[in-house]
Amino acid sequence: MGRILFWLGLAALIYAAIVVARSKRKRSCRSSERKQPTEYSSVRMIKCEVCGTHFPEDEAVLGDGRSFCSEKCRKTARMKAARRNEAE
Ligand SMILES: [Zn+2]
């Protein structure tokens, strides 16, 4: 009889540990889920003038008052502008 009580107690402890671990995990998931949608919805998607890629506004590389998806596209735009100036 003592053994059965021991195993029952052990099972209850394990069950309690699982429940606690799950509730902690849920809480952390919920807090991260709450943050992400607001972050995503607040970020506007803009189009790169050089390659036409859509990207989040906060990742934009700014140059000459315009927004580009990457440093490479900003350089390309500058080179194009420089060539245009040379031709004129
Ligand atoms: Zn680009």
For residue 12, how far is its CA from the centre of ligand 1 (angstroms)? 58
- Closest to 69 in 3D by CA, of 41, 44, 40, 47: 47
Report the pLDDT value the prediction gives residue 85, as an integer from 0 to 100. 87
Count of structural domains, the chain: 2
For residue 73, how far is its CA from the centre of ligand 1 (angstroms)? 5
- What domain range is 17 assigned to? 1-42
Residue 10 has pLDDT above 90, yes or no: yes
Report the pLDDT value the prediction gives residue 51, as an integer from 0 to 100. 97
For residue 51, how far is its CA from the centre of ligand 1 (angstroms)? 4
For residue 66, how far is its CA from the centre of ligand 1 (angstroms)? 12
What does pLDDT average to over the chain? Answer: 85
Task: Mark out the alpha helices in 1-88 (DSSP H runs).
Answer: 2-42, 71-87
**Pairwise CA distance, residues 64 & 74, whole Å:** 9
- The reply to whether 6 and 37 lie within a common domain is yes
For residue 65, how far is its CA from the centre of ligand 1 (angstroms)? 15
- The reply to whether 35 and 60 lie within a common domain is no
> Tens of pLDDT along 42-65?
788 999 999 999 999 999 999 888
Stretch 5-16: mean pLDDT: 93
- The reply to whether 48 and 63 lie within a common domain is yes
For residue 43, how far is its CA from the centre of ligand 1 (angstroms)? 18
- The reply to whether 49 and 82 lie within a common domain is yes
- The reply to whether 73 and 36 lie within a common domain is no
Question: What's the pTM?
Answer: 0.49
Side-chain-side CA neighbours of 43 within 13 Å: the count stands at: 14
- The reply to whether 35 and 2 lie within a common domain is yes
- The reply to whether 36 and 65 lie within a common domain is no
